[in-house]
Amino acid sequence: MNDKKTLVGFLVFVAFLLIFPFIANSRWLAVGTTFIIYSIVALSQDIVLGRAGMFDMGHALFFGLGAYSTAILNTVFNVPVLWTIPVAIVLPLIVGILLAAPIIHLRGDYLLVTTIGFNIVFEQVLKNNLFGITGGPNGIFGIGAPEIFSFQFFSQQSIYFLSFFVLMLTFFIIRNLETSKIGRALHYLNEDSLAAECVGINTRFYRLYSFGLGAALAGLAGVLFAVQYAAVSPEAFSFIQSVLFFTIVIVGGPSSIPGILLGTFVMFVLPEIFRQFATARYFVFGIAMILTMILRPRGIWPAKFGRIPKYMVKD
Amino acid sequence: MEIFFQQLINGLTIGSIYALVALGYTMVYGVMKLINFAHGDLVALSAYIGLVVMMQLTGASVPNYIVIPIVFIITAIVIAIIGVILERIAYRPLRSAPRLSAVVSALGAGMVIQNGIMLIWGPRPKIYPADVVPNIYWNIGGVSLGLMQLIILVLSLVLMVVLYLFVNKTKIGTAIRASAIDQLAAKLMGINVNKIIVLIFIIGSSLGSVGGLFIGMYYKGIYFNMGWIYGLNAFVAAIIGGIGNIPGAMLGGMLLGLFNAFIAGYVSSTWADAFTYILLIIILIFRPTGILGERVAEKV
């Protein structure tokens, strides 16, 4: 019953995304594309924050690492965008695991501030133009379009559909994760890490696994970002951006796909809609954040599962 | 060697400001286990309110040595009231909610204060009058020490000693420490934990307001989103010292101030933040709960 509802909701959502580019004008098409890209990043953040329960407030670092990999390889070394994608996935993956390994045992809030730290160090590296390849505070311009069999993803619409394809891929990965042994291990880890360790779950391995997977997905989203704007700059991957992704997950509802999508909509698309009230926008927004948390402390659309896994409950 | 002593003085000055702000983070964290992300923005707000009060008073022909203490007192009272309102609206309803919800509520509150400042005073930086504290400098063997720096150092030290004695020697201080260790047990012993939390917000916010005024008077320029930068640095100071630990916040603040000053003096100021966080990460790798933090095996 519940599964059927979920399926119908999913199909309606996908159908809407598919017809959206044909009804939207160019500005809203750009908003839609960015919505999809941010949704992917937020979903990847959710793997770390919502599912594994690690307080990660530096996720824009991996998003930026992917985008900058593509930008640097494409503009400096003239590598076609398509060939930069593996690098933009593997590099954040490696960096994510290397950064997380020494700090993964830290208590929640200490982990949070450490990940903030990584993000700020990354931001300063970009701004100070380390090795002279990051373009400094202005970033990098003129990133090419990806090309498959001489079809160029040049128009806004084709980039939208490319992003849409990656979003579907993300859904597939997360769906697989949810139903797999790893997903269950992460769930127990999140509920009670001590108990999880006692029943033989290798907490360190699963934490690193989720960190690596989250970083890799965010890196892939970074490629889309670089392609969509044909430019990257440090502001797009700043620590404030990480706070946004963090907030999306908590406001939307941790470890719930509809929640994350709704969260992205609320935190990113709504401010776009109310652009005419530009100055007071974030003031009202802060109040809305407090209200949402007071009224729905578990997020707008939280994941619904009890403490006992479904297959163990007799109906 | 002159550079060394100069940066030592500068570092101790910035360090005392960080320490004052860090005390607000650490006290709230100690009792509520909540990172009060709005604290930095309260500090920024206090710099603006202090400026308004100062402008009102310097118009009348009152000498500066009377104006300044009044500015400090009025600002501290206003900020303490705002801090208590903040606790009532944004944090109290979330006491039993998941911990991250309270963090997001704190982020929202910080956003409200920051953009409130922008809406009231505009996005452009404000300048503090240059002559509120006379520009007196003493030159000791090539190293200069300003009157403002001396005031910051002495006043911060006095406030910290008073706070330390208050928390460790008085009955209310004992109640605060008891609530920090175990809220439920403290309640059972007849401590009104709600009142303790309000008190903590009053103390933390007023110490933060002193820090905010110092920032305004020392650096002269204030801007609406400065709460992020100073707030985060102070928070890092609290973490370095071991969050929830009052002497830890003081030590962490001083260490961070000195470290920042020496990096700026000997390496480069554009990399200062990066070095701050590298220091933090290294300290946390070796002492996962900060320098003076308790050594406990606690689950996330």
The 3-state DSSP class for residue B61 equals coil
pLDDT at site B240: 92
Cα A132–Cα A133–Cα A137 angle in degrees, nearest 5: 80
Q: Is B296 on the interface with A (CB under 8 A)?
A: no
- d(Cα B210, Cα B218) in Å, to the nearest integer? 12
User: Would the CB atoms of B284 and A110 count as touching at under 8 Å?
Assistant: yes
Nearest CA-CA distance, residue B53 and chain A, Å = 24
Question: With bands split at pLDDT 50, 70 and 90, how would you rate the model's confidence at B60?
Answer: low
Could you tell me which residue, A229 or A274, shows the higher pLDDT?
Answer: A229
- d(Cα B243, Cα B6) in Å, to the nearest integer? 30
pLDDT at site A2: 60
Domain boundaries, chain B: 18-225
Residue of A103, A122, A245, A283 to mutate, interface with B, max B Cβ within 10 Å? A283
User: Would the CB atoms of A298 and B97 count as touching at under 8 Å?
Assistant: yes
Residue identified by tokens 């933390």 is: B204
Of the candidate ranges B16-20, B65-69, B187-191, B268-272, the one whose mean pLDDT is the lowest: B268-272
- d(Cα A64, Cα A127) in Å, to the nearest integer? 13
Alpha helices in chain B (DSSP H): 2-32, 39-59, 64-86, 99-121, 147-169, 171-181, 183-188, 193-219, 226-241, 246-262, 272-286
Of the candidate ranges B50-64, B137-151, B166-180, the one whose mean pLDDT is the lowest: B50-64
Give Cα B255 distance to the centre of its chain.
14
| Each residue's pLDDT tens digit, A54-93 | 899 999 999 999 999 999 999 888 888 888 999 999 999 9
CB B73 within 8 A of CB B195: no
Q: For residue A273, what are the contacts with CB-CB under 8 A and spacing of at least 6?
A: none
Closest residue of B to A108, CA-based? Answer: B300
Q: For residue A132, what are the contacts with CB-CB under 8 A and spacing of at least 6?
A: none
Least CB-CB distance to A290: which of B109, B236, B298? B109
Q: Answer yes or no: is pLDDT of B295 > 70.
A: no
| Each residue's pLDDT tens digit, A160-182 | 999 999 999 999 999 999 888 88
In 10 A of CB A151, how many CB atoms?
10
Backbone φ, ψ for residue B111 (5° rounding): -65, -40
Q: For residue A91, what are the contacts with CB-CB under 8 A and spacing of at least 6?
A: A65, A66, A69, A219
In 10 A of CB B169, how many CB atoms?
9
Question: With bands split at pLDDT 50, 70 and 90, how would you rate the model's confidence at B131?
Answer: confident
Closest residue of A to B236, CA-based? Answer: A113
Question: With bands split at pLDDT 50, 70 and 90, how would you rate the model's confidence at A1?
Answer: very low
User: A147 pairs with which residues across the strands?
Assistant: A152
10 Å CB burial of residue A211 (0-12, 13-18, 19+) is: buried
Calculate what percentage of chain A has a pLDDT beyond 70. 95
Length, in residues, of chain A? 315
Q: Answer yes or no: is pLDDT of A304 > 80.
A: no
Q: Answer yes or no: is pLDDT of A302 > 80.
A: no
pLDDT at site A265: 92
| Each residue's pLDDT tens digit, A207-249 | 999 999 999 999 999 999 999 998 999 989 998 899 999 999 9
Question: With bands split at pLDDT 50, 70 and 90, how would you rate the model's confidence at B300?
Answer: very low
Q: Answer yes or no: is pLDDT of B121 > 60.
A: yes
Q: What is the dihedral of CA B255, B258, B264, B269, to 10 degrees?
A: 40
Q: What residues of A are in contact with residue B273 (Cβ under 8 Å)? A: 120-121, 124
Length, in residues, of chain B? 300
pLDDT at site A220: 95
CB A92 within 8 A of CB B258: no
Q: What residues of B are in contact with residue A282 (Cβ under 8 Å)? A: 111, 114-115
Least CB-CB distance to A120: which of B105, B116, B274? B274
Q: Answer yes or no: is pLDDT of B1 > 90.
A: no
The predicted model scores a pTM of: 0.90
